[in-house]
Amino acid sequence: MFRRSIRLGLLASLMPLSFLVMLAVWFGHEALLEQFSRDVRQDMLAQESDQLQNLLTNSYPDTVRAIKSIESLEFVFQHAFAFRIGQTLYFSAGVDKEIMSPLLSEKTPGVVYIKSGQRSLIGYRRTFRTNRLPVVLVVAETQTPHLAGWERVHVSIAILSVLLLIVLWCVIFLAVHLALSPVSRVRNDLADLHSGRRARLHNTVPQEFSGLVNGFNRLLETLDDRLERSRRTIANLSHSVKTPLASVLAVLEADSSHISPDDRIYMIKQLRSLHKTLDSQMRRGDVSGPQISRSTQVVVLTEDLVDLVGRMFPQKQFRFSPKPGVPLKWQVDEQDFSEVAGNLLENAGKWSLSAVDLALSTSTEGLNLSISDDGPGIQEEDRERLLERWVRLDEQGSGYGLGLSIVKEIVDRYEGRLEFSESSLGGLQVNVLFPGQAVEECENARRFP
């Protein structure tokens, strides 16, 4: 039952249970009333026996006068009397002597129970002495008392119990409804989640549900994160293959009637680079951040990138000048460095008028990559928008607005820095910092600790 509905299961369990409880209270109340009635009857008999003892003690030895007084009390109390003084027995009118005689032969004082046909009567025996003679006095009921008042109380309590049971059922229904309202809220949140009106379950739930709701929300966040990462990976992958394909297309669309061996080697190299890019981008969906075991020949790779982008923009001049002391290898993934430098060079070639300068240098913070162009530049208030995904300041130009956002993601994974400033050539200058140190320095540190 609880598998189908918790509310119905609780109501189906608590309502019959409450009925059984009220039924037990009813029978308990009936037993208490019976006991209370018996106690009242016993106290009444004890008081009457005390009065008769005083009457006998004060009247003795005038026993005849005492018996007449006792018979007059019999009509008042509606009880029978019998007593034994010495060996002499005395009975009030209407007394069943066969029943009362055995009671006078015993001397134990207290309550006695009398069986008369189908009736159960109560008596009270008292023993004392008068004028040195032993006296046994018994006061007994002649019929079972008809307590009309107690029956009315019994009926009133029965009606009250039924009303209390109805009220109890209402309270149970209300308590179950209030107790399960968080479950209804979670159910409604799940419906809103399914329909798209809500992204997460509501966190304000009782402590018993907090672990379930928080775990479910964390699962949703994980799924959303994986979905967003997959989308970013696909977008990055699409953007990453654009540059190698553009370079191959530039060669194929040239005016030459045939492809030279050098151009064929060049296209093979670019297609291999495209294949490597696909592998790297798919791997980047699961692995983020720098990897210590990977290093790149930054100078050689930069020269190749300058040559690649120069083929894409043959009418423009690309100048590369590594500063003295720049190491040959740096602790940076080759594909990550190629992605950063390639995107920045392509953007500079697209917007420059005639020249692009690229410089590599080192500092105490790490490896510095600087790219400047002589293009129109970008206003300072618009530079922050360059890093937004899918944003292009020039909507008329080609592209998807992904290049610089990809660069920013890669630099952030290396805990580096990406800055924009005005170039000495008049256009935009982009400065990138890759923290770390040269691979040769790390090897020397291992050799000479």
Share of the chain above pLDDT 70, in %: 73
* Contact partners, residue 166, CB within 8 Å, separation at least 6: none
Domain ranges of the chain: 6-150, 288-447
Which pLDDT does position 213 carry in this prediction? 80
Which pLDDT does position 350 carry in this prediction? 87
Average pLDDT over residues 379-387: 75
At 398, the pLDDT band (50, 70, 90 cuts) reads very low
**Cα–Cα distance for residue pair 120/102, rounded to 1 Å:** 16
Give the tens place of pLDDT for each residue, 192-203: 776 667 777 877
Looking at domain 288-447, which CATH architecture does it have?
2-Layer Sandwich (3.30)
Residue 280 has pLDDT above 80, yes or no: no
Give the tens place of pLDDT for each residue, 169-186: 888 888 888 877 777 787
At 293, the pLDDT band (50, 70, 90 cuts) reads very low
Correct CATH for 6-150 of 1.20.140, 2.60.120, 3.30.450, 3.40.50: 3.30.450
370 and 359 in contact (C-beta within 8 Å)?
yes
Which pLDDT does position 287 carry in this prediction? 47
**Cα–Cα distance for residue pair 67/361, rounded to 1 Å:** 137
Which pLDDT does position 288 carry in this prediction? 47
Residue 137 has pLDDT above 50, yes or no: yes
Which pLDDT does position 238 carry in this prediction? 63
Which pLDDT does position 327 carry in this prediction? 81
**Cα–Cα distance for residue pair 439/329, rounded to 1 Å:** 6
Residue 432 has pLDDT above 90, yes or no: yes
Which one has a higher pLDDT value, 370 or 162? 370
409 and 392 in contact (C-beta within 8 Å)?
no
pTM of the model: 0.43
Average pLDDT over residues 93-100: 74
Which one has a higher pLDDT value, 270 or 360? 360
Residue 221 has pLDDT above 70, yes or no: yes
Residue 26 has pLDDT above 90, yes or no: no
Give the tens place of pLDDT for each residue, 51-75: 777 877 777 766 666 666 666 666 5
Which pLDDT does position 229 carry in this prediction? 72
Average pLDDT over residues 113-122: 74
